Structure formats: C-alpha cells, structure tokens
Amino acid sequence: MPATYIQSRTRSAPNSKPAFAVRIGAVGLAVALSLAAPALAQEAPPTQTPGDALASMIGSWEGTGWSMMPDGSRETFDIFERVESVGAGNAVMIRGMGYAPAGAGRDGRLVHDAGGVVSLEASGYEMFAATARGGPEAYEMTITETGYVWEIPLGAQGRMVFTAVIDDQTWTETGEYCPPQGDCFPSLSMTLTRLAD
C-alpha cells in the first residue's frame, strides 16, 4: 500500500469524547437534541461497501515514485501493488512492495513492505495498516469521487496527508508532511499503471 511508505508514525488518539457531569432538565435535553439533530444527519457515515467505493483500485499495479529522506534528498523506487475485494466487498486488501532505486525492479533494495485493509466502520471508512516499521494501526480514510485521502497524525510533530487519484489505468498518489505551524510540503509522489484486473 503506497501511502504507508513513510519514515515515522505514531498511534492516533482514540476517538473518545470528554465526559461531562452536567444535570439538565427534560426541556434542556429536548432543545439540545433538536439543535444537534441536523448536524448529526449531515455526518452520517457512508453506506457503500469498500469493495464498491474502491472498485477502480481492484487489480495489480506497477509504477515508480520518490520519497523524501530525512536529509532532504529524494529516494526513488519501483512500486508493486495488489488490491483485492474480499468478503463480498466488505473489505479491500491492499498489499505493496517497493524497491530502490527506481529502475532496479524487484532486484533493488526492499524499502517498502506494507499491507492494509479498508473497512466501513460506524464512523466511516477506515484503513487498518501495517508496515515493516510498525503497526497495525487504524486511520480514517475519506473516499472521494476520484480516489481517496487519508492521514497519519504525528502528535506534536504534525501530520502526514496522502491523496490518491485513480482512473481505469492510472493510480497517482502524493504525500505531504504538514508541520503544526506553516504550510505542508511534498514528501512522496508515485504513479502506477494497471497491469491486470
């Protein structure tokens, strides 16, 4: 899975809400619920299965890309991806391997070894991913009309944001590092071509 080609990761904080010890009467509760209802209705989770939502990804892919190294240089790589719909579309499995430098193919140095499962949870789509550097960990994913967006929170260090655009034959993915202050900057880019369904 290409977007997990990163140098560091931290577990995101659980989606827990603070507990409040507040007593409100029946009228106050009714008012609060009536005000919250429109917002809750707008944030309903998607209902399309991951297999349907990510149908354009299913198949085998191959391509090249680069990743920003800690010293600011770019390491090039060849990337090989396999994406499968499993469980009647209830999950999508993504398996990726990358080798540096670009042009060496599978004879290069293994620099990316990752896999993930995309599922539909109560809160929306989620990617459960593992790499050679750690995991598995869960990350929220937004599936768009042209692909998907997901991010890895890095706590006080900021976050990584990955954006994919996929059509019938091409899968392009970019990564950005976003510090706590200031603009995001590119950290990864790759383009893959479909080999087979």
pLDDT tens string 135-186: 789 999 999 999 999 999 999 999 999 999 999 899 999 999 999 998 999 9
Does any domain span residue 67? yes
Work out the average pLDDT over 7-25.
Answer: 34
Whether pLDDT at 37 is above 60? no
Does any domain span residue 33? no
User: How many domains are contained in the chain?
Assistant: 1
pLDDT tens string 50-100: 999 999 999 999 999 999 998 999 999 999 999 999 999 999 999 999 999
Model pTM? 0.75
Provide the CATH number for the domain around residue 167. 2.40.128.20
Q: Which long-range contacts (CB under 8 A, 24 or more apart) does 55-58 make?
A: 55/85, 56/147, 56/166, 56/167, 56/168, 57/83, 57/92, 57/94, 57/166, 57/171, 58/83, 58/84, 58/85, 58/92, 58/197
Does any domain span residue 4? no
Does any domain span residue 2? no
Does any domain span residue 19? no
Does any domain span residue 25? no
Does any domain span residue 16? no
131 pLDDT tier (thresholds 50, 70, 90)? confident
Domain extent, residue 135, equals 49-196
Whether pLDDT at 36 is above 50? no
Better-predicted residue by pLDDT, 29 or 164: 164
Does any domain span residue 9? no
Can you give the pLDDT at residue 63? Answer: 98
